[in-house]
Amino acid sequence: MFTYFDHLECSACSRTWERNTLINLCPCGGPVLARYRLEEAARAMDRRSLPGHGLWRYHAVLPVESPERIVSLGEGMTPLLRADRLGRRLGLDALSIKNEALNPTGAFKDLGFSVAVSRAAELGVKEVAVPSAGNAGSAAAAYAARAGLQAHIVFPRDVPQAFILECRYYGAHVELVEGRINDAGKRVAEGCKKHGWFDLSTLKEPYRLEGKKYMGYHLAEQLDWVLPDVIVYPTGGGTGLVGMWKSFEEMETMGWIDSRRPRMVSVQAAGCAPIVRAFESGASRAEFWENAATIAAGLRVPGAVGDALMLRALRESQGTAVAVSDQEIIRGVEQLAQSEGIFACPETGAALAGLRQLVERGWVGRQERVVLFNTGSALKYLDVLGAESFGSGPR
């Protein structure tokens, strides 16, 4: 069998649907998740020799029914790099970087859109829409072009220029709105209602998460099925973190890993840190963050649909959430570039700054095995990075 995808289930109220239902959120407001017949999938898959390339080697635990419907640009074979020089600077003996910037459009968002666009096209969708802070727009537009679908991308007006240009080249219809990603989300919702576009907003459909969960599978594979002690991830809408958390549960059910889990760390920007605030106050939902502002566009998400799922993953993993300033973010970008030759996006600069804080506080121990995710390339942020007073030379 090509997939063991079984049914859809609401993460909040547990209502279920038949798997071929074209769905956005549950009427209760909860994100809907894909569920699989995992015991059967485990019997069918030899995890040590999965045929093919990248993400789609895991087709048995992905939702697409027919191999011909896969929309791929070769995503997923991203390296896990030892980062000893950076580790020494931070005071860590076993730091690695999972470099998702090597995906086709330069960010981890490709994984989600490869799956979501494949599945939308398989279910008959012709036009897709997404509000985006940057990278999600690029990925949606690229995969939609590859699938022959029309994409509608709505960005906040202050999005870095490269994203706008790139999406237009892919043939997407690009619209800029005043405000932030939630304002872009409202415009997408209007368009969907009026024109019948399918809404691919973060966690408002089940399948972007399925692509993101592959990061957990691939990481486990690269570490010979022993997960690290700590995973540090820059968090906006939260699909990266929640997707990996889902993969760990699936892999344990399939008998691929044991019950030990990494402590998951969500890093946000001090100018937009709703998850950090909710985590620290013990809340199960995050309140909307007014006047969100940070140079890390992907972290400028004042209200996330997946807040409850994120907070649950952080708490179940004994993880934490930290906020960092824009100055620390730039310093993180510089430090990663100078220590390891990786020119990463500001979101990753934030993750590095967050990790630094946690080492200084003693929350991460010297000998722990830590994986820091580089979620995207710096090259689309040159207008933002160039405007900052950085480049202080070798350190």
Ligand X SMILES: Cc1ncc(COP(=O)(O)O)c(C=O)c1O
Instruction: Using the minimum distance from each CB to ligand X, give the nearer residue, 235 or 339.
Output: 235
Cβ-count burial 286-309 (b if 16+ within 10 Å, e if not): beebeebebbbbbbbbbbbbbbbb
Q: Least separation, in Å, of the C-beta of 298 and ligand X?
A: 3
Regarding 257 and contact with ligand X (CB under 6 A), the answer is no
Residue 45 vs 305, nearer CB to ligand X = 305
Helix (H, G, I), strand (E, B) or coil at 261: coil
Rounded to a whole number of angstroms, the minimum distance from the CB of residue 230 to ligand X is: 17
Closest approach of ligand X to the CB of residue 136, in Å: 5
x/- mask, ligand X, residues 291-330, rule CB under 6 A, reads: -------x--------------------------------
Q: Backbone phi, then psi, for 169, in 5-degree steps?
A: -60, -35
Sites for ligand X among residues 102-121 (CB under 6 A) = 107
Which amino acid type is present at position 108?
A: F
For ligand X, the closer of residues 94 and 179 by Cβ is 179
Residue 375 binds to ligand X (criterion: CB under 6 A): yes
Strands 369-374 and 230-234, by their bridges, are parallel
- Please report the DSSP string for 90-142 in residue order: HT-SEEEEEEGGGSTTSBTHHHHHHHHHHHHHHTT--EEEEE-SSHHHHHHHH
Chosen residue from 188, 295, 345, 352 binding ligand X by CB under 6 A: 345
Q: Identify the H or E element spanning 386.
A: helix 382-387
Tokens of 307: 């807040």
Both tokens assigned to 42: 């485990």
332 binds ligand X (CB under 6 A): no
Residue count, binding to ligand X (CB under 6 A): 18
Q: By 3-state DSSP, what share of the chain in percent is helix, strand and coil, each rounded to 5? A: 45, 20, 40
Query: Between residues 230 and 378, which has the closer beta carbon with respect to ligand X?
Result: 378
Q: What is the per-residue DSSP string for 287-313?
A: PP-TT---S-GGG--SS-TTHHHHHHH
Choice from 117, 120, 121, 133 touching ligand X (CB under 6 A): 133
Q: Does 202 bind ligand X (CB under 6 A)?
A: yes
Closest to ligand X by CB, 76 or 240: 240
Distance CA 323, CA 222 (A): 29
Report if residue 347 touches ligand X, rule: CB under 6 A: yes
The distance of closest approach from Cβ of residue 350 to ligand X in the complex, given in angstroms and rounded to an integer, is 9
Q: Which residues bind ligand X (CB under 6 A)?
A: 107, 133-136, 202, 234-240, 298, 345, 347, 375-376
